[in-house]
Amino acid sequence: MNRVLKVALLSGIAVTLASCGTVRGLMPFGLGQDKTPQATASEGQRVSVLEFEQQLAPSAALSGRDFFIPGPQAAIAWTQPGGNAENSVEHVIAAVDFTVSWRRGIGAGSSRTRQVMAPVVADNGRVFVLDGEATVSALDAGTGAQAWRTDIKPVEDSRRTGFLGLGGRSDGGGFGGGVAVGGGKVFVSSGYRTVTAIDQASGAVVWTTPVDVPIHGAPTVSGGRVFVVDVENQIQAFDTATGRQDWSYRGIPEPARLLRASSPAVTGDTVIAPFSSGEVVALRASTGQAVWQQVLSRTSRTSALSEIRDIAGRPVISRGFVYAVSHSGVLSSMDIRSGQPRWTLPVGGVNAPLPVGDVVYIVSKAGELTVINRESGQVYWTRDLNEGRVRQEGGFFGFWDHTVRPVWSGPLMASNRLVLTNSDGELVAFDPKTGVQTASIRMGGPVYIAPAAFNGALYVLTDKGDLVSIR
């Protein structure tokens, strides 16, 4: 009976849609196709349109050459989404045994109307996390025991409506935001249009400042100010003691953006703001005055001019240079003082670059891990992280299968391993010199957030809302 129903359904679809040329071409077994002879292309030279794109290639000059990686250092704090205010942590001691120590649920995971997007931070023996419903939890870093739990959703937000929280709360979700730690407080940004300070020891709310639009990225704390970038490409600086806004700077509005959001980088009196327009802007941290601006965007023969240019990976400040990558395909090393590019490469990505020793590691949006010479921008090697992980998933009645590739987050250098997570629910370690996979652990759910390191452990937050400690 089921078989008869399926055949009848397919026949009905074929009759209904046979007049559509696009659909006719997709129908299985020739159903609904026109048998009239059609013109075909003649034999001749075929030119791949992909060859018009500039491609990364290993440098012959670097073939067989080694590069320097500094030894691991103890990570006694991980106070910012990128480890510190510069988003630059080269090599930490963490997860030497590479085994699961403990696992704890931290609250709501991702769903249709909410997303777990906030990187883990840690300080003073505790790990701080934000779940999919804007609830902050403090857990003991050694045991996973909960110290406190604070819901920061505004009470009046329950009366608002909107799509996915962009216009307010809708079925549970002003999603996004993140946490950072500094000066005895936990600072929380959220999609519920608030920036909040919580007492690090007790979990009590110290102050809450409302903002005009949602904030999907985590904050950065430095020099008595907390910096956030909202969904309308405005960076705002708030006083950490009072929550008063010190200044704001608005970039170019950009309606098309990625779900994954970035955080500013700060060194001294310079803050580097990433925007979804592809802009990287250097500002005075004290006043918000613009110092320089670069746009990491390019057009190509194989992509539309309206391609998303979002800088979803955190910019990194390291040794006097800013490293940033855009989704549209530009990776650049820029002088922190002038913004002048030292080198630029055609790499599109949504993860923060990782400068370590002589090199810079970057994972492209296609899942390729590339090692680049920090000084020259020449490529040592590139490895396809999805080799052996690509799979086909069926569509309607098994027809129109589509290819699925894991989405990668990271990397982080920990105890002589290059560590990444992926949407297949893996924590994977690679040899930093060769790119060969050396170990992996199943996390029990998809992971879209890079791990954090603290007191000898790695902390991984899954999309289901589980925090996993790896020793």
Q: Say if residues 230 and 195 touch (Cβ distance below 8 Å).
A: no
Per-residue pLDDT at 210: 96
Report the alpha-carbon distance of residue 88 to residue 117 in Å, rounded: 20
Residue 398 neighbours by CB under 8 Å, 6+ apart: none
Q: Say if residues 361 and 69 touch (Cβ distance below 8 Å).
A: no
Q: How confident is the model at residue 154 (pLDDT cuts 50, 70, 90)?
A: confident
Q: Which two tokens stand for residue 55?
A: 């491609």
Residue 175 pLDDT greater than 90, yes or no = no
Average pLDDT for the chain: 86
Residue 266 pLDDT greater than 90, yes or no = yes
Report the alpha-carbon distance of residue 4 to residue 101 in Å, rounded: 53
pTM, to two decimals: 0.85
Cα torsion through 418, 421, 424, 430, rounded to 10 = 0
Q: How confident is the model at residue 400 (pLDDT cuts 50, 70, 90)?
A: low
Report pLDDT digits (tens) over 179-201. Answer: 999 999 999 999 999 999 999 99
Residue 23 pLDDT greater than 80, yes or no = no
Per-residue pLDDT at 403: 82
Q: Which two tokens stand for residue 350?
A: 């949504």
Average pLDDT over residues 403-422: 95
Terminal CA-CA length for the chain: 55
Per-residue pLDDT at 458: 98
Query: Comparing C-alpha atoms, which of 454, 428, 451, 455 is closest to residue 441?
Result: 428
Q: Which two tokens stand for residue 136?
A: 């902050």
Per-residue pLDDT at 406: 94
Per-residue pLDDT at 151: 96
Give burial (CB, 10 Å; 0-12/13-18/19+) of 42: exposed
Per-residue pLDDT at 297: 83
Per-residue pLDDT at 398: 58
Average pLDDT over residues 431-447: 97
Residue 246 pLDDT greater than 60, yes or no = yes
CA quadruple 345, 347, 348, 349: dihedral positive or negative? negative
Report pLDDT digits (tens) over 60-82. Answer: 999 999 999 999 999 999 999 99
b/e map 287-300, b = 16+ CB within 10 Å: ebeebbebbbbbeb
Q: Which two tokens stand for residue 297?
A: 């965007």
Token match 């045991």: residue? 143
Query: Comparing C-alpha atoms, which of 283, 292, 280, 293 is closest to residue 328?
Result: 280
Weakest-pLDDT range from 12-26, 195-209, 300-314: 12-26
Query: Comparing C-alpha atoms, which of 467, 369, 364 is closest to residue 418?
Result: 369
Report pLDDT digits (tens) over 344-397. Answer: 999 999 999 999 999 999 999 999 999 999 999 999 999 999 999 988 776 665
